[in-house]
Chain A
Amino acid sequence: MKFTFSIGFLVLVLLAQGQTAQLSGYIQDAASGEMLPGATIWCAAESVGAGTNAFGFYSLSLPPGKQTLTVSYIGYAPAQVEVELLGDTRLDFPLQSGVALSEAIVLGEGDRIEDEVQMSKMEIPMDQIRRLPAIGGEVDLLKSLQLMPGVQSGGEGTSGLYVRGGSPDQNLIVLDGVPLYSVSHLFGFFSVFNADAVKRMTITKGGFPARFGGRLSSVVEVQMKEGNMRETHGTVNVSLLASKLMIEGPIVKDKASFMISGRRTYLDVLTRPIINAVNAEDPNVQTQPRYFFHDLNGKVNWRIGDRDRVYLSLFDGTDDFGFESTETFGESSSYIDFGLDWRNRVAALRWNREWGPKLFSNVTLTRSQYEFNTGVEFRESFGAVGDSNTTRLASLYQSGIVDLGGRIDFLYALNNRHSIRFGGNVTLHTFNPGATTFQATFEGSLSAIDTTLGADEVGSDEHFLFVEDEMRLHPNLKANLGLHAALLRVNGTNFASLQPRASLNYRLPDGSAVKASYARMNQFVHLLTNEGLALPTDLWVPATDRVTPQTSQQWALGWAKTYRGVEYSIEAYHKAMTGLLSYREGASFANTFNSDWEDQVTQGVGEAYGFEFLLQKKRGNTTGWIGYTLSWANRQFDEINSGNPFPYTYDRRHDASVVVMHTLSDRIDLSATWVYGTGRALTLPESVFRTFVPAAFTGADPNLSGTTVEVPGGKNEYRQSPYHRADVALTIRKEKKRYLRTTIISVYNVYNNLNPFFSLVDVNVDGSKVIREYGIFPIIPSIAWRIEF
């Protein structure tokens, strides 16, 4: 009986499936052949649609027969296509790029904010990012994200992201599927992403689908360009800080392509004549400071047949800071060389396969390495007639992390009601939480020293499996339900977690949508950092038997609607975090030079909640957005602030941004941004007192030695001045015979507001004390040129 019923059910399913034809393929740029992730295909007659995945692949079930489809993507002219479906059909759609699209274009459904199940996800098109004002003309991807609600900057000029009360280590920043551990150059003032090499960037702040894991607060996905499949093109950028070159083109036309991009700063080159002039004044004292950063991006994309593609992505970013100094006194000399460098190296090999019209897979093998080194070498040579004596002292501090990973993802488009993703991941971590090598050589009888102190390497392996189903439960109700199961094994200790995820989208009669989401997240790595300043010295450390993983639970509720081409969205969220890591009071990275980092830390909990408002206009001559966030973020550690809760350093009650980009003519664009944020929370000394130590604890000496003690108030009880700044940029394009030249004139901090970078209690000449705030960036005009060929 049961058997008969099962057969009957199976036949019904097959019959039901037999009434549909599966349309699948890729949506791509018509000119370059690049795949377009996040594009949508919509069938109005059937009220069904699908979006492309990260590789531009879509799959949609439709009734056989003639169908009219709308294919659209931000920054591209939508296409209306009629297709005759007789059975399963494979069809690629090319879209024409258009920088400024008419406001009159009616968006296809599925392309609007209210259509997406996923909430708390934002994207700024790359062509808009390139038109935003930038310090020194150097366009920065992460700084452009800071202009969105719920995403805050760490301080003046820095590129760190603080998402919904989370810390920068809680952001999963992936470049072509590979997590990056350090994403900053120049002590955090620039991100490592070269805008010329990037095709797309999105940020997800909550409601994380089950395929994401490993971080609590956000997922930033950056995809490098794949390379033009048809023609060789390139761009050259010259700004006051750096120059960039990007070349892309076919290796085999419509089969294989490449993209290579490089960037280097030249502050060291520009300052060399000044330094040489100073050195020439006193030949006995020679000093050579240095600072530069460079990054290299490369990608090869190879289409093997109709169904397989292989991508190889490479990235190398290096910062090098230091100085050398030599002083000579007759026959004697002293030499000092100080260096501080950090480096990211990433490689990813990916294989896409389209197993059929419904099943798509991606296999990724990755290697990610971050290393930080700082060292000093000192040599002294005393010379006398017939005699000399040389001493050498050197120390080198090294820390870093190496990840080897493998991941497989499947997308199974079961039907128009269910789109299922599932897969798994294995990552082998090797942490080096800091080791110092001392070397000393002396002339004479003293023996040489060569020793290494510090924490040992820690190895761990992290695994996860996930399954998620994006489903249409009712014509007005869509959901994405999933489960992420993760396991970390470190030093004989296992940490396992089950993380349910859910997102709902309910369409209201007026066309707007109410959205809700829940996500439980787990993070097995911590960034050991002082809250005062993000430095490359920050240590990535694993969860251990003494340090538990971080977890969070985030709820969000929102409303979204597109009205007359403007997207409106409101979201409320609440995030509870556990296992947060902090240095103990008085500890810093300097303590980890000589002692175990686990002795320097303490763990606590955090809470963040708030409201985010966004009005965004993506099309037309005038585009931009207005964002506002009202938020609270608090922390509580038993061993900090006497166990009392305190505001997180980046607790920011109000955070607002206004971004406007206007096309004046075919040749001229004008853009302006204005940002405002409540001042950063800080701890200040409130009072002073004198205290003493006996000169002797034995004997008869009654003397005391005194010292003045500054008594801090409660942790983060005070606020710096509010942060606000306006930037403007003028982009002028000139079409030449063989290339397009663009001049970008920008002014950072137009009204020269000295935003505080740090605050100190200072003593005036008259002895009176004041709180003095120091900024680092006044008004900065700059000019940059871009040539596209």
Chain B
Amino acid sequence: MAHRVLNPICSSALGCVLLVSVVGCEKLSEGVVREIEFPTHTPELAVTFLARPQADSLVARTHASAGILDSAGSQKVKEAEYTLVHSSGTTISWGGQEDWVSGLGHVLTDVDLALGTWSLTVEAPGFETATAEQTFPPLIDSAGSYAYTAEWLLVDSTTELDPYWSFASRVYELSLSLPDRAGEDDFFLLRSTRRLWMEPVPGESNASTWLESPIEDDPRMEWNRSLDGYLIQDVPGAQALESLPFEVYFEAWGEGPGDVEEMLAGKPGLELVALSPEAVLFYRRLDQLQGGGGPFFSEPVLAYSNISSGYGCFGLYTSTVVEPD
């Protein structure tokens, strides 16, 4: 009895299963679009302004944040107006359409910001005003109260000069000691000024410098992809920032010996930057947001910003070039 009932049921069910399987495979590859109720996103100002004293020009850039499903994305805000106020009362204003330089942003020229604390206010029509406050780290230099020392040792040198194609490399060991203020957090960035991607013209003469830390998992430093250099911080312990070891690789190549010799004379330039702590936090978190192993493998990261009522980063820094003598 049961079989008589089951036979037609089985045939029909098999047909249904085959039909649904075909539809099912399509759904499998295409996925299923799902409406998720995101909270309505109110665009906010996303400000990036990193400033230093004694600069020919400083560039601020402001975009409007956008909801994740907004296909237009984060648009630039050319109307943004910036006001910098020093704790002494000095005020600097710029921005708007007239200071907008295509490809750059809002450019502030011929400015020498005094050390100390600055507050930034960014206003644009239709947006809530964004504010932030930052304090300059001391001027980093090879002399003075906030001085670094760098000891260079050339450990390897190769030069192959040829009329058609020449190549030269230098390997240095750099021992860098950085200032470490008592009771203050000190943050630095060390990176190359001749990064290869900056002038990627194949077949032409070029030079590049890169640096590596010979110590694995040195708690004082970490590579930051966004800033393309090592972020260095003081850690508990006396003289934590003394004798930081680096290996510096400098290569030059070109079609003729002259080009290469000229570039070798240019030295392997490094920039040493003393950064305000909030800028370091921002770029560290930016690295985590951009990096990781994808949605399955890393714990999600929340964004960091020191801009109130907005996104982005207002950071102050002092900097210098570090080169072998």
Contacts and interface: CB of A to CB of B under 8 A. Distances in A.
A693 interface: yes
B28 interface: yes
Interface in B32-89: 32-36, 38-39, 41, 44, 46, 48, 50, 52, 56-59, 61, 63-71, 73-74, 76
A752 interface: yes
A585 B104 contact: no
Given A533-B296, A585-B302, A778-B21, A697 B189 contact: yes
A695 to B, nearest CB: 7
A696 B199 CA distance: 13
Interface stretch (B176-184, B243-251, B254-262, B317-325): B317-325
A589 B298 CA distance: 8
Given A686-B41, A692-B61, A704-B61, A585 B227 contact: no
A176 to B, nearest CB: 34
Contacts of A533: 296-297
A710 B76 CA distance: 16
B6 interface: yes
A714 to B, nearest CB: 8
A255 to B, nearest CB: 44
A506 interface: no
Contacts of A689: 44, 46, 63-66, 74, 311-312
A475 B84 CA distance: 83
Nearest to A664: B2
A106 interface: no
A749 B21 CA distance: 10
Interface in A725-771: 730, 747, 749, 751-752, 754, 756, 758-763, 767-771
A694 to B, nearest CB: 6
Contacts of A4: none
A586 B291 contact: yes
Contacts of B227: 693
Given A697-B52, A711-B303, A688 B73 contact: yes
B68 A710 contact: yes
Contacts of B34: 721, 756, 759, 770-773
Interface stretch (A225-233, A314-322, A415-423, A590-598): A590-598
Contact of A762 (B3, B31, B52, B59): B31
A775 B28 contact: yes
A527 to B, nearest CB: 14
A447 interface: no
Nearest to A533: B296
Contacts of B189: 697
Interface stretch (B91-99, B160-168, B281-289): B281-289
A685 interface: yes
A718 interface: yes
A783 to B, nearest CB: 11
B66 to A, nearest CB: 5
B299 A687 contact: no
Contact of A586 (B65, B76, B103, B288): B288
B302 A778 contact: no
B154 interface: no
B155 interface: no
Given A642-B302, A688-B68, A697-B271, A778 B73 contact: no
Nearest to A683: B300
Nearest to A685: B68
B188 to A, nearest CB: 11
Given A586-B288, A684-B68, A697-B189, A776 B299 contact: no
A668 interface: yes
A749 B27 CA distance: 14
Interface string A93-129: 0000000000000000000000000000000000000
A706 B59 CA distance: 13
Contacts of A730: 6
B69 A530 contact: no
Nearest to B292: A586
A690 B74 contact: yes
B292 A754 contact: no
A710 B61 CA distance: 18
Contacts of A692: 48, 61, 105
Contacts of A641: 302
Contacts of B56: 700, 702
A778 to B, nearest CB: 3
A136 to B, nearest CB: 14
Contacts of B25: 778
A585 B288 contact: yes
A8 interface: no
A691 B286 contact: yes
B217 interface: yes
Given A532-B297, A699-B193, A594 B217 contact: yes
A710 B289 contact: yes
Given A689-B63, A692-B61, A702-B104, A596 B301 contact: no
B59 A704 contact: yes
Contacts of A710: 68, 289
A582 interface: yes
Contacts of B317: 697
For chain A, the bracket of interface size reads 35 or more
B interface, by DSSP: helix, strand, loop or mixed?
mixed
A778 B23 CA distance: 9
A761 B76 CA distance: 23
A357 to B, nearest CB: 50
B240 interface: no
Contact of A779 (B17, B283, B288, B289): B17
A707 B226 contact: yes
B265 interface: no
B216 interface: yes
A779 B46 contact: no
Contacts of A599: 217
Given A583-B299, A691-B286, A708-B73, A698 B321 contact: yes
Contact of B296 (A665, A712, A758): A758
Contact of B193 (A453, A531, A698, A775): A698
B214 to A, nearest CB: 14
Contacts of B290: 707, 709
B264 interface: no
A47 interface: no
Nearest to B69: A769
B120 interface: no
A201 interface: no
A775 B27 contact: yes
Contact of A754 (B1, B27, B297): B27
B311 A691 contact: yes
A781 B1 CA distance: 25
B32 A588 contact: no
Nearest to B68: A685
B24 A756 contact: no
B100 to A, nearest CB: 13
A688 B38 contact: no
Contacts of B174: none
Given A685-B68, A761-B68, 17 more contacts: A532-B298, A585-B300, A585-B302, A588-B298, A664-B2, A688-B74, A691-B312, A691-B313, A695-B198, A702-B58, A703-B103, A712-B300, A761-B69, A769-B69, A771-B36, A778-B27, A779-B21
Interface of B: 1-3, 6, 13-14, 17, 20-21, 23-25, 27-28, 31-36, 38-39, 41, 44, 46, 48, 50, 52, 56-59, 61, 63-71, 73-74, 76, 103-105, 107, 189, 191, 193, 198, 216-217, 226-228, 271, 273, 283, 286, 288-293, 295-303, 311-313, 317, 319-321
17 contacts: A584-B299, A589-B297, A687-B41, A689-B311, A690-B48, A691-B313, A695-B198, A700-B57, A709-B289, A715-B300, A721-B34, A768-B71, A770-B69, A771-B33, A772-B32, A773-B31, A776-B28
Interface of A: 453, 530-533, 582-590, 594-596, 599, 640-642, 664-665, 667-668, 683-700, 702-704, 706-715, 718, 721, 730, 747, 749, 751-752, 754, 756, 758-763, 767-776, 778-779, 781
